[in-house]
Structure 1
Amino acid sequence: MKLESPAKASILLMLCVIIWGSCYPISKSALNEINAISLVFWRFVIASACLAVYFKISRISFPRLSLSRWFRAIVVSTLGVGGFNIIVYIGLSYTSPINSVLIMSLCPLMTSLIACTAIRSIPSLAQLCSIIISLIGVFMVLVNGNIDTLLSIHINYGDALIFFGMLAWSIYTYLSKIICQWMPVMPYTFLGMSGSAILTGTLCLVIPDIHPYYDLRNSTTLVLVDILYIGICGTVAAYFFWLYGVHQLGPANASIYFNFIPVFSLLTSYILGQPASGVQSLGMVIVISGLLLPRIIKTARNRHLIHYGS
């Protein structure tokens, strides 16, 4: 039985967030042995190579587009994918995977706000309440229950970088919906992977302290396996699943699946021996509850209308 596109998109998006949720603690573990930019570089080199082989076997060709559309697709995919990963992986070097994934879980709200701004509409009351509740949960995680930290308003350097990465990803998600209307998902994915490999490779040449080849050669077998997992599963498969879901369901609906990343990240952290504190776990529950609030209200309202309409 062939799945309809929305159902297929939902399944692929769920697989995507399972993979991405596991990538945060796995990446954190790998960063103990390899430089953040080196890790991002090898991630996209592996992804680009895999997609190039797939393109060759499947004989997929790029669409014919105007120069302006090519420029927009290259800039959005390279900065949205490569720039985002560079910021997040550097930030992950200074903060915990739990903090990172919870800040990134604000993407659905940020994407919705960007969409509202683009069409010049005002967020609903449910969206505003969702933002407030989610921010409370995020601050609980950031200060880890320490009131002195909250009063001093000192935010971890890594947390700040993750926040800007979250903002960049939200913009990328919104713009990708527009670009995928005239560029197929697979070529657009390859464009993002190859452009990001070139971007990070350039940084490796410019910054003297970064040596991706030596970092890779001196890594343990476990880190090499981590890099392969991040490159193949966390990049090729997950990005394709994500873009397919965005194309089928729209950026706002697809971003809702980000709500589940903290759950799978927390499970992976426990497996890898990186447990969250009680305050962080509570903060995660509050963030997820806030993110799901608009959906819960919408479902309850629809049931109310159906009940009284019948």
Structure 2
Amino acid sequence: MCTFLWGASFPVGKHALSEVNALTLVMWRFSIASVCLYLYTKYKHMPIPNLTPKQWAWAIGVSIIGVGGLNLGLFTGLEQTNANNGALIMALSPLVTSLIGSIAQRQFPTKGALFSLVVCLSGVLLVLTDGAFAKLLGFEFNHGDQMIFLGMLCWSLYTYLTQGISRWMPMIPYTLVGMLSGLGVISLMVLFSAEVHPLQESLAISRSVFGDLIFIGVFGTVGGYLLWISGVKQLGAANASLFFNFVPVFAALTAFAYGQQVTALQLLGMAIVIAGLLIPRLVKWQYQRLTVHNV
């Protein structure tokens, strides 16, 4: 359910961008998510964390980079590229997060991680270059794809740093801090952007786009996150991360339902990325199963 909600958010967001600016969409997402998470904390009687000023500054700073950077890159990028490309790029996030961890801990990535890196990048580049790898020599990429890639890097860094923050701050209040931090940054950007008019845009939107905004805020953000926490608790982080590979699949299916184009090249790229992520883990799982059986 979680990966379906996250995957569906790409084509739903693409559809909403036909009537509202990317910054307006992100403001809606953060506002709705902040209200929902605040009500959830009150319902669960969660107290405000007792943190030092340094800890608050670190939590807010990391949230601005990760949550704000992700959404800014993602939705501004979707204005200039399609939902399937965005979902495919974001599918690299678990792999990039593990590579950031290897670099930070000064450890050489495992053979499985290197295999995944090469195969997954091949699949993504196949789609982003439309099969013309000669574009790599001139770095000719769609600007929207570049923005989403930067957003993915921000999210991967945020995911890695969050592992440390989670030791002294509960995740639900931390997520609320992230939503409020992102809302603050986007509000400042809107204030200094003459071409963005959130109130006028919001009053003029159709019912279908209003439904898109509610879906992204309630289900794609709050619902997806709470389902992810529940899944990780029951399956463990390693097993739960396998399901992240279904995000581009659900994005493609939802895009098809919306009437958005899904090309054969995108489907091939998705298959390559999913294979690159799954094969090393399946080989490791099979090796562990055989080891236990032999013992």
Verify same fold: TM over 0.5.
Answer: yes
Deviation at 1:300, TM superposition (A): 2.0
Structure 1 residue ranges, 4+ long, deviating more than 6 angstroms after superposition:
246-252
Matches within 5 A, 1:112-191: 112-146=98-132, 149=135, 152-191=138-177
Matches within 5 A, 1:28-67: 28-67=14-53
The one-letter code of the counterpart of 1:179 is I
Could you tell me which residue of structure 2 aligns to residue 223 of structure 1?
Answer: 209
Contact residue 69 and residue 155 of structure 2 kept, 8 A: no
Could you tell me which residue of structure 1 aligns to residue 253 of structure 2?
Answer: 267
Q: Provide, for residues 224-271 of structure 1, a one-character-per-residue CA deviation record: whole Å limited to 9, x for no partner.
A: 010011011111222334456668877666544321101111111111
Deviation at 1:59, TM superposition (A): 3.1
Deviation at 1:155, TM superposition (A): 0.8
Could you tell me which residue of structure 1 aligns to residue 11 of structure 2?
Answer: 25
Cα distance 1:250–1:195, how it changes in 2: closer, same or farther (>3 A)?
A: farther
**Matched residue pairs, number?**
295
Q: Does 1:202 align with 2:203?
A: no
Could you tell me which residue of structure 2 aligns to residue 10 of structure 1?
Answer: none
Deviation at 1:132, TM superposition (A): 0.6
CA distance in 2, matches of 1:248, 1:121: 29
Q: Does 1:237 align with 2:223?
A: yes
Cα distance 1:116–1:147, how it changes in 2: closer, same or farther (>3 A)?
A: closer
The one-letter code of the counterpart of 1:55 is T
Deviation at 1:108, TM superposition (A): 1.4
**TM-score of the pair, normalised by structure 1:** 0.89
Cα distance 1:192–1:241, how it changes in 2: closer, same or farther (>3 A)?
A: farther
Could you tell me which residue of structure 2 aligns to residue 110 of structure 1?
Answer: 96
Cα distance 1:246–1:171, how it changes in 2: closer, same or farther (>3 A)?
A: farther
Contact residue 125 and residue 133 of structure 2 kept, 8 A: no
Cα distance 1:84–1:107, how it changes in 2: closer, same or farther (>3 A)?
A: same
Q: Provide, for residues 134-191 of structure 1, a one-character-per-residue CA deviation record: whole Å limited to 9, x for no partner.
A: 1111111112234664565411111111111111111111111211111111111111
Q: Does 1:92 align with 2:62?
A: no
- Structure 1: any 5+ residue segments left out of the alignment? 1-14
RMSD of aligned residue pairs (Cα, Å): 2.0
What SS is found at the alignment partner of 1:128?
helix
Could you tell me which residue of structure 2 aligns to residue 70 of structure 1?
Answer: 56
- Structure 2: any 5+ residue segments left out of the alignment? none
Could you tell me which residue of structure 2 aligns to residue 7 of structure 1?
Answer: none
Contact residue 108 and residue 291 of structure 1 kept, 8 A: no
Contact residue 140 and residue 283 of structure 1 kept, 8 A: yes
Deviation at 1:304, TM superposition (A): 2.9
Cα distance 1:155–1:167, how it changes in 2: closer, same or farther (>3 A)?
A: same
Structure 1 range deviating more: 246-255 or 183-192:
246-255
Structure 1 range deviating more: 97-106 or 114-123:
114-123
